[in-house]
Structure 1
Amino acid sequence: MTDRDDAEGSANAEPGADTEVPGDSEDPNEGEQYHLEVEPGDVADAVLLPGNPERVPKITAFWDDSEEVGHHREYRTVTGTYEGAPISVTSTGIGSPSAAIAVEELARVGADTLLRVGSCGAIQPEMSVGDLVITTGAVRQEGTSAEYVREDYPSSADHEVVSALIAAAERLGYDYHTGITMSADSFYAGQGRPGFEGFEAAGSDRLVDDLREANVANIEMEASAILTLANVYDLRAGAVCTVYANRETGEFRTEGEQRAAETASLAVKLLARMDEIKRERGVDRWHAGLSLE
Structure 2
Amino acid sequence: MVIQQSELILNPDGSVYHLNLKPEHIAHDIIFVGDQDRVEKITKHFDTIEFSTQKREFKTQTGTYKGKRLTVMSTGIGPDNIDIVINELDALVNIDLETRKPKEELTSLNIVRIGTSGSLHTDIPVDSFVLSKFGLSLDNMLRSYLISEVSNTEIENAFIQHTNWDLQKGRPSVVSCSSALEKIIESDKMHKGITATAGGFYGPQGRILRLNIQDNNLNSKMDNFLFENNRITNLEMETAAIYGLSALLGHNALSLNAIIANRASGTFSQDPYKAVDELISYTLNKLSNSI
Q: TM-score range by the shorter chain?
A: 0.7 to 0.9
Residues in 2 aligned to 1:108 and 1:265: alpha-carbon distance in whole angstroms: 26
2:221 equivalent in structure 1 = 210
1:98 paired to 2:81? yes
State how far apart, in whole Å, the 1-side matches of 2:92 and 2:261 are.
36
Quote the offset at 1:146 in angstroms. 1.4
- How far residue 264 of structure 1 moved from its aligned partner, in angstroms, is 2.6
Structure 1: distance between partners of 2:85 and 2:75? 6
State which structure, 1 or 2, has the greater radius of gyration over its C-alpha atoms: 1
Deviation >3 Å, runs of 4+? 150-154
> Could you tell me which of 213, 216, 234 is aligned with 1:201?
213
User: Residues of 2 paired with 1:104 and 1:269: CA distance?
Assistant: 26
Q: Tell me the CA shift for residue 52 of structure 1.
A: 0.5
Which residue in the other structure is 1:56 paired with?
39
Q: Distance in 2 between matches of 1:144 and 1:270?
A: 35
Picking from 258, 261, 267, the partner of 1:242 is: 258
| 1:16-95 to 2 correspondences below 5 Å | 24-29=5-10, 31-95=14-78
* Sequence identity percentage: 27
Match of 2:195 in 1: 181
Q: Is the 8 A contact 1:193 1:200 kept in 2?
A: no
Question: What stretches of structure 2 of length at least 5 have no aligned partner?
Answer: 94-107, 154-172, 226-230
Which 5+ residue runs of structure 1 have no aligned equivalent? 1-22, 274-293
**Distance (Å, rounded) in 2 between the aligned partners of 1:165 and 1:208:** 28
**What is the TM-score with the length of structure 2 in the denominator?**
0.78
| Inter-partner Cα distance in structure 2 for 1:63 and 1:105 | 25
Asked if the contact 1:87/1:268 (under 8 Å) is kept, the reply is no
The count of corresponding residues between Structure 1 and Structure 2 is 241
How high is the TM-score relative to the length of structure 1? Answer: 0.78
Alignment check: 8 A CA contact 1:165 1:240 kept: no
In the alignment, is the contact (CA less than 8 A) between 2:29 and 2:69 conserved in 1? yes
Does the residue aligned with 1:180 lie in a helix, a strand or coil? strand
1:229 pairs with one of 220, 223, 245 = 245
Contact residue 48 and residue 264 of structure 1 kept, 8 A: no
- How far off is 1:150 after superposition? 4.0
After superposition, the CA RMSD in angstroms is: 1.8
Please name the residue that 2:179 is paired with.
159
